[in-house]
Amino acid sequence: MNMMHGLRNQSLRVVKVGEARTESENIIKLINANAKAQNVLTAENWNVVFQFELDGEPEPFYIEVKNGKATVKSGTNSTPSLLITGKGASIARASRGQGDFTHSISREEIEVKKGKIMELIRYGRAIAAALKDKKH
C-alpha cells in the first residue's frame, strides 16, 4: 500500500482564525512572559474563563486563566465566568492596547452578557502591563 495515497485521502480541517483571536493569542504570549502581567493573573488565585462570541470571527473562542497562566482555546466553554459578545474588531483593538474594554463597552461595541465586568477590566490591566514593558 502506498502511504502517500493513504494520506491524500484524509481530509484536513483548516481553521480560519479571525482578528480578535489572533490579537488575543499575541497578547496572551506577552502576558505569560511578563512578570508584572503575571502578577495580575496570580493575585488572589484568579481562575477565570472569558468566552468570546464575536461578530467577524469565524468561530467562538475563549481565554482560560488558570494557575497564573492564560491560554486561548477554540470553541465554547461549558461554564464560562464571562460571556462577551459584540464586535471582534473592538476586542482586537483592546488586545493591541488601542483603547480598553471599558471604552468598548461604553461605545456599545461589546457587551458582557454573563459575569462581572471587573473581571474583564482586570484582564485589561494584565494587557496594559504587558504592553507597557514591551515598549521599553
pLDDT tens-digit series, residues 67-81: 989 999 999 999 999
Instruction: Beginning with the edge strand found earlier in the chain, give each strand of the sheet holding 61-66 in spatial order.
Output: 69-74, 61-66, 48-55, 82-87, 110-114
Averaged confidence pLDDT in the chain: 88
pLDDT at 50: 97
The model carries a pTM of: 0.84
Q: Is the pLDDT of residue 17 over 50?
A: yes
> Could you tell me the sign of the dihedral formed by the alpha carbons of 113, 60, 32, 128, in that order?
negative
pLDDT band of residue 6 (cuts 50, 70, 90) is: very low
Q: Is the pLDDT of residue 7 over 70?
A: no
Structural domain span for residue 20: 16-135
Written as one letter, the residue type at 111 is E
Assigned domain for 8 exists: no
pLDDT tens-digit series, residues 86-119: 999 999 999 999 988 999 999 999 999 999 999 9
Assigned domain for 9 exists: no
| CATH number for the domain that contains residue 83 | 3.30.1050.10
Assigned domain for 1 exists: no
What is the C-alpha to C-alpha distance for residues 41 and 75, in angstroms, rounded to an integer?
22
Number of domains in the chain: 1
Assigned domain for 88 exists: yes
Assigned domain for 2 exists: no
